[in-house]
Amino acid sequence: MLSGRRILLIISGGIAAYKSLDLIRRLREQGAAVRCVLTESATQFVTPLSVAALSEHKVYQDLFSLTDEAEMGHIRLSREADLVVVAPASANLIAKMACGLADDLASTALLATDKPVLIAPAMNVFMWNHPATQGNVAALAARGVHRVGPGAGELACGEVGEGRMADVPEIMAAIGRLIGVLPPEAKPLAGRRAIVTSGPTHEPIDPVRFIANRSSGKQGHAVAAALHRLGAEVTLVSGPVTLPPPEGVEIVPVETAAQMLEACLAALPADIAVCAAAVADWRVSNPGAQKHKKTEGGGPPTIALTPNPDILATLSQPGELRPALVVGFAAETELLLQHASAKLARKGCDWIVANDVSPASGTFGGDQNAVHLLTPDTVEAWPRMGKELVAERLAERIAAHFAKPHPTTSEVPA
């Protein structure tokens, strides 16, 4: 499939470098010519000899090697590839790329290349979540550098969270897409159906007044767009917002929680449900058929409330129609993680994205969000970033979840 394609693989220092040996083997099996550059720290994890044996090429390590420069200068090395892949991409090399540093062969080749670059980050979860790394990754993304992973799980350092280098099949798929040998429809969520809720609900008090909240729909709409970009067929059930529906997404406009639930149930079956809507917990028990009048000497009307159906909890109920992955959001003004993990357990969803919505946070209606992703076993703090980036990252995590082989019934321990 990759016959005649030339890949420059840059291996930087990290325990995940052992996976790069398998990557070289898989690339060679597919017919690609692979040239490898090792950083000095990479040689602590894999030997130049094993890399040379698997790639069947000389391994390049030194910027100032007279023989290397005579045979294949660093400029030629970086230009003669169809794609430059950095796997693993350490926090240090990512930082050098973001700053444009060129103090060794790897960083110099990356600065000199005119070819697409794909990075597969691998590092400790705190290093990955550090605002400096996130800023560097965002800067590279803005410059068109492609990224695959990282995934979440137990890390080599013993900590748990995001930072694992993407698995080799995932990196192979990303390479295939980038050099155009996989059709664009080979998107990781192609063939998956997703339901996303977004925006507020409006619960009528009478024909002219309603109970509502400050949700703008920005976060939910961004999630719908990001899932669509990864190939999912998305139904976006949205309360009243002023945003245009994202391109390629089926939009179902609703007003009340009851209508939102009905639209979500009508959109089943689905593989994925993401409930980002700020649904009113209560509705008016008996909304007036006519506008409440302010009568001379009369007091204010008494408004009785009834609980609304819980859409997230309903979609999470076990059964044939339950989406394989149900993700809720938790909007809190205090004790964020405590309340969010209680919601995760109470509502029966698989993951919950917790965000602070106190007025000082600017989350409602704003363009930025700082979230925590909670699963039953892990809590990850994501740095503050644009709502679109939050959505993109969540969609990638959802795609990685579906890419992982899940245990078959026979493999599940008794």
Site string for ligand PMT, 348-387 (x = CB under 6 A): -------x-x-----xxx---------------------x
The string over 335-348, giving b where at least 16 C-beta atoms fall within 10 Å of a residue's C-beta and e elsewhere, is ebeebbbebbeebb
Regarding 284 and contact with ligand PMT (CB under 6 A), the answer is: no
Regarding 238 and contact with ligand PMT (CB under 6 A), the answer is: no
Select the residue interacting with ligand PMT from 21, 330, 373, 391 (CB under 6 A).
Answer: 330
127 backbone dihedrals φ, ψ, rounded to 5°? -65, -40
Any idea which residue has 């794909």 for tokens?
118
* Closest approach of ligand PMT to the CB of residue 9, in Å: 39
Closest to ligand PMT by CB, 117 or 340: 340
Q: Which listed residue (157, 264, 275, 349) is catalytic?
A: 157
Select the residue interacting with ligand PMT from 104, 170, 310, 396 (CB under 6 A).
Answer: 310
* Closest approach of ligand PMT to the CB of residue 133, in Å: 24
User: Shortest CA distance to 120 belongs to which of 111, 128, 129?
Assistant: 128
Closest to ligand PMT by CB, 97 or 331: 331
Separation CA 102–CA 96 (nearest Å) = 7
Rounded (10°) CA dihedral 232, 22, 137, 192: 10
Closest to ligand PMT by CB, 125 or 330: 330
275 catalytic, yes or no?
Answer: no
Question: Which pair of structure tokens corresponds to residue 72?
Answer: 């294949």
Select the residue interacting with ligand PMT from 312, 395, 398, 399 (CB under 6 A).
Answer: 312
Closest to ligand PMT by CB, 192 or 343: 343
Select the residue interacting with ligand PMT from 24, 122, 125, 277 (CB under 6 A).
Answer: 277
Regarding 218 and contact with ligand PMT (CB under 6 A), the answer is: yes
Kindly report the number of other CB atoms within 10 A of residue 58's CB atom: 15
* Closest approach of ligand PMT to the CB of residue 280, in Å: 7
Regarding 19 and contact with ligand PMT (CB under 6 A), the answer is: no
- 3-state SS string over 58-88? CEECCCCCHHHHHHCCHHHHHHCCCEEEEEE
Select the residue interacting with ligand PMT from 216, 235, 238, 256 (CB under 6 A).
Answer: 216
Site string for ligand PMT, 118-137 (x = CB under 6 A): --------------------
* Closest approach of ligand PMT to the CB of residue 399, in Å: 20
Select the residue interacting with ligand PMT from 39, 328, 395, 399 (CB under 6 A).
Answer: 328
CB 261 within 8 A of CB 252: no
Select the residue interacting with ligand PMT from 164, 283, 343, 397 (CB under 6 A).
Answer: 343
**Longest CA pairwise span in the chain (Å):** 98
Closest to ligand PMT by CB, 107 or 215: 215
How long is the chain? 414
* Closest approach of ligand PMT to the CB of residue 389, in Å: 13
* Closest approach of ligand PMT to the CB of residue 361, in Å: 9
Separation CA 139–CA 142 (nearest Å) = 5
Regarding 278 and contact with ligand PMT (CB under 6 A), the answer is: yes
Site string for ligand PMT, 82-121 (x = CB under 6 A): ----------------------------------------
Closest to ligand PMT by CB, 174 or 391: 391
* Closest approach of ligand PMT to the CB of residue 288, in Å: 22
Positions that interact with ligand PMT (CB under 6 A): 197, 215-220, 257, 275-279, 281, 308, 310-312, 328-331, 343, 355, 357, 363-365, 387
Catalytic residue numbers?
A: 157
